[in-house]
A and B are shown apart, each in its own frame.
Chain A
């Protein structure tokens, strides 16, 4: 069906004009609120207090979600929201990585707030259309699309029965439909958010944010992957959200002072040109450069995080990705990004599923995907990884959760906790590519074992125990989830700090709060609990700040200035921190320093912790980790690194392993490691100004200026 025919089937439910509003110093100070229960379209002003304390991005999302939901709102209740906010810096084109959006919602996986950051053009275009935030509540009766026309200043809700669900198709359909013309220069002024067929049949749905690649003349997709927001999106019967603008001017944010931004941007561009080829090669390989590095350091998860390296890992080595990726293209997921790390595989011919034989562009794989749907599943075949990457994206499911879910199922299968009888005939041995592909297609169709796997690791454990009599204790040890969210793809066994960096996160074990493995395990620079606690204070707070402002984390430390080696704390990359302070001040006209930057984050971070507590979570028991994250669960694991574990027992624990049985040694190791984690929790909570139960104290919240009445009401019940 042609795009015109598809559009002719639309039924307009609501069309509303709004007053145009230009950005001033990065803000419009208003929210676009849409309620799909009754097709309300409204503007909401952002009060000065909210701007001061929550900054933008995730901060705005959390504040609006708190106000818009009840403590017992479930993910599929009508009052759950999807809130998209880029932040004040988003949309500048003079510094790399300045086009991110933060999406928040109540997660179907965790029942707490999920936040997920994403590139693509939608966030900046939303701002250029006149809004800092898009807040969507309610549920439509039939499939709809929302169109924000920033050219004519209208918002419409349209029933859209004909468009495809899968993202690689609907993004193209709607970009063509809503572009002012077929000229690629107009096509690039449209961005589409969509999910996919598996998003509506699993709890691990994601959102794809598109950007039009003018050189390839194709839509590219970036993912808000974590926590099932795509599932919420489809539950609301949203097929897509479209935004269109006239174009991108040199200073759409109307910043306070452009010169410092340009100067820092030019400085960063020089670093990329001169240093990146000798450092991470982000421009050639993106984050996939890390695959072989992680393998070399025994950190690449293989076979459900049992091991950290594999003899076949060279098959998914960064040099393989270097050849697969089309080089020399414009691979920035926002205009002006000189890091250009959003790599793509062109003309990839699919070998399975409904699009078998189609030649498609595949965005990625990034490191997490190569590790998750590759090494962790025992799949060391680059083309299989690319195919799984494509289908996860277009079906709208998170590659990280998919990888950790399937690897868990494979370990259960190999341990005979589940059999072919339970999997519908799927042979889920590690490394089985056809079975893994069939499973993802089942997820898209909502059929068979795909339906069970799509529930996520936490619910799979309960399902296997209840229906198949599987050993819950063993599954709790090997099921790599915390708070209900699947772990991202690093082996944390040898880094206590990273164990905290995962399991103490607000949303669940995603590495975007802290990645401390090298500092801790390799450099031995944070040996004491106090050292680790300081790192688990500073880095999560610093990295939270990117999500308040619409920034990508990668330009912070994936290329580093030569002078960084002379810094007292090189892991903080102080010159780049100074870039961010300078740019924030230059955009907003405010005057913060690097200490206030951290305080801005602390306010929002503690608010999010309090939000979790309000919902019945966010306490010490919710920061518990599966033992697989901390040490060897099985004899096979212990024996594979026996020399290391025995040496640690003798040198660190102070017990001679000689004469001890394997079981005794494993028990000693486990007791030691579990005790260390408890001590870490104590140290980090103290540093963060929390009680031993993980509750922010009123004194700390007052000191931060976050003793808001609703916050105090929640906290005092737990103090």
Chain B
């Protein structure tokens, strides 16, 4: 199976998979995120267009918020 590694979790990679697809697959709905694909920072406005290569190492850093 083709995969990507998201925060240490292995998930299935699909052709034309975008950063937003990864966030959806992981159910990451929090908004204060920093996303790096193979060390490269992906801006929020690129989430829908940035294609994730197969076997990527993806960091989705959730920042903190709340009282």
Chain A residues within CB distance 8 Å of chain B: 278-280, 287, 289-290, 292-293, 296-297, 366-368, 511-512, 515-516, 518-519, 522-525, 553-554, 557-558, 560, 564-566, 570-571, 573
Contact A366 B67 (CB under 8 A): yes
Set of chain B residues within 8 Å of A553, measured between Cβ atoms:
67
Digit string of B47-67 for contact with A (CB within 8 Å is 1, else 0)? 000000000000111111111
Given contacts A296-B27, A297-B30, contact A522 B7 (CB under 8 A): yes
Q: 9 A-B pairs, CB-CB below 8 angstroms?
A: A279-B31, A292-B29, A293-B29, A296-B27, A367-B67, A511-B66, A512-B67, A518-B62, A523-B62
Cβ-closest chain A residue relative to B41:
A565
C-alpha spacing A512/B66, complex, angstroms: 9
C-alpha spacing A317/B57, complex, angstroms: 32
Question: Could you count the A-B residue pairs with CB atoms below 8 Å apart for me: how many are there?
Answer: 71
C-alpha spacing A560/B65, complex, angstroms: 10
The 6 A-B pairs of least Cβ separation, nearest first, read A518-B62, A524-B8, A565-B34, A558-B65, A296-B29, A287-B67
C-alpha spacing A524/B65, complex, angstroms: 17
Across the interface, B31 reaches (CB within 8 A) one of A278, A366, A512, A522, namely A278
Set of chain B residues within 8 Å of A278, measured between Cβ atoms:
31, 44
Contact B7 A554 (CB under 8 A): no
Given contacts A518-B62, A523-B61, A570-B61, contact A554 B30 (CB under 8 A): no
C-alpha spacing A287/B64, complex, angstroms: 12
C-alpha spacing A570/B66, complex, angstroms: 16
Digit string of B6-45 for contact with A (CB within 8 Å is 1, else 0)? 0110000000000000000001111110100000010010
- Interface-centre pick from B7, B34, B62, B64 (highest chain A CB count, 10 A): B64
Cβ-closest chain A residue relative to B29:
A296
C-alpha spacing A512/B44, complex, angstroms: 29
Contact A571 B63 (CB under 8 A): yes
C-alpha spacing A564/B34, complex, angstroms: 9
CB distance from B36 to the nearest CB of A (A): 9
Contact B61 A557 (CB under 8 A): no
Set of chain B residues within 8 Å of A515, measured between Cβ atoms:
64, 66
Set of chain B residues within 8 Å of A287, measured between Cβ atoms:
65-67
Set of chain A residues within 8 Å of B34, measured between Cβ atoms:
564-565, 570
Given contacts A524-B7, A566-B41, contact A279 B66 (CB under 8 A): no
Contact A557 B41 (CB under 8 A): no
Contact B64 A557 (CB under 8 A): yes
Set of chain B residues within 8 Å of A525, measured between Cβ atoms:
61
Set of chain B residues within 8 Å of A523, measured between Cβ atoms:
7, 59-62
Range class of the B interface residue count? 20 to 34
Contact B29 A367 (CB under 8 A): no
Set of chain A residues within 8 Å of B59, measured between Cβ atoms:
523
Cβ-closest chain A residue relative to B44:
A278
Contact B66 A522 (CB under 8 A): no
C-alpha spacing A560/B44, complex, angstroms: 13
CB distance from A120 to the nearest CB of B (A): 15
C-alpha spacing A565/B59, complex, angstroms: 12
Set of chain B residues within 8 Å of A367, measured between Cβ atoms:
66-67
CB distance from B35 to the nearest CB of A (A): 9
Contact B27 A280 (CB under 8 A): no
Cβ-closest chain B residue relative to A570:
B34
Set of chain B residues within 8 Å of A292, measured between Cβ atoms:
29
Cβ-closest chain B residue relative to A565:
B34
Cβ-closest chain A residue relative to B26:
A522
C-alpha spacing A451/B14, complex, angstroms: 59
Cβ-closest chain A residue relative to B36:
A565
Set of chain A residues within 8 Å of B67, measured between Cβ atoms:
287, 366-368, 511-512, 553-554
Contact B41 A560 (CB under 8 A): no
Contact A560 B32 (CB under 8 A): yes
CB distance from B67 to the nearest CB of A (A): 5
Across the interface, A522 reaches (CB within 8 A) one of B44, B62, B65, namely B62
C-alpha spacing A560/B32, complex, angstroms: 8
CB distance from A224 to the nearest CB of B (A): 13
C-alpha spacing A566/B43, complex, angstroms: 11
CB distance from A580 to the nearest CB of B (A): 16
Set of chain A residues within 8 Å of B61, measured between Cβ atoms:
523, 525, 570-571
C-alpha spacing A565/B67, complex, angstroms: 22
CB distance from B60 to the nearest CB of A (A): 7
C-alpha spacing A149/B50, complex, angstroms: 62
Cβ-closest chain B residue relative to A290:
B66
Contact B63 A560 (CB under 8 A): yes
Set of chain B residues within 8 Å of A512, measured between Cβ atoms:
67
Set of chain B residues within 8 Å of A565, measured between Cβ atoms:
34, 41
C-alpha spacing A511/B65, complex, angstroms: 11
Given contacts A368-B67, A511-B67, contact A280 B62 (CB under 8 A): no
Set of chain B residues within 8 Å of A279, measured between Cβ atoms:
31-32
C-alpha spacing A278/B66, complex, angstroms: 16
C-alpha spacing A453/B57, complex, angstroms: 50
Q: A290-B66, A293-B30 are in contact. List 18 more A-B contacts (CB 8 A).
A: A278-B31, A279-B31, A292-B29, A293-B29, A297-B30, A367-B66, A368-B67, A516-B64, A518-B64, A519-B64, A522-B60, A523-B59, A560-B32, A560-B63, A564-B63, A565-B34, A566-B41, A571-B63
Contact A280 B64 (CB under 8 A): no
C-alpha spacing A524/B57, complex, angstroms: 13
Cβ-closest chain A residue relative to B9:
A524
Set of chain A residues within 8 Å of B29, measured between Cβ atoms:
292-293, 296
C-alpha spacing A553/B7, complex, angstroms: 27
Set of chain A residues within 8 Å of B44, measured between Cβ atoms:
278
C-alpha spacing A290/B63, complex, angstroms: 13
C-alpha spacing A194/B8, complex, angstroms: 50
Cβ-closest chain A residue relative to B7:
A524
Set of chain B residues within 8 Å of A519, measured between Cβ atoms:
62, 64
CB distance from B63 to the nearest CB of A (A): 6
C-alpha spacing A73/B7, complex, angstroms: 50
CB distance from A296 to the nearest CB of B (A): 5
Contact B31 A280 (CB under 8 A): yes
C-alpha spacing A289/B30, complex, angstroms: 10
CB distance from A649 to the nearest CB of B (A): 17
Contact B60 A290 (CB under 8 A): no
CB distance from B32 to the nearest CB of A (A): 6
Set of chain B residues within 8 Å of A566, measured between Cβ atoms:
41
C-alpha spacing A243/B16, complex, angstroms: 63
C-alpha spacing A547/B65, complex, angstroms: 17
Set of chain B residues within 8 Å of A511, measured between Cβ atoms:
66-67
Set of chain A residues within 8 Å of B66, measured between Cβ atoms:
287, 290, 367, 511, 515, 558
CB distance from A513 to the nearest CB of B (A): 12
C-alpha spacing A366/B66, complex, angstroms: 9
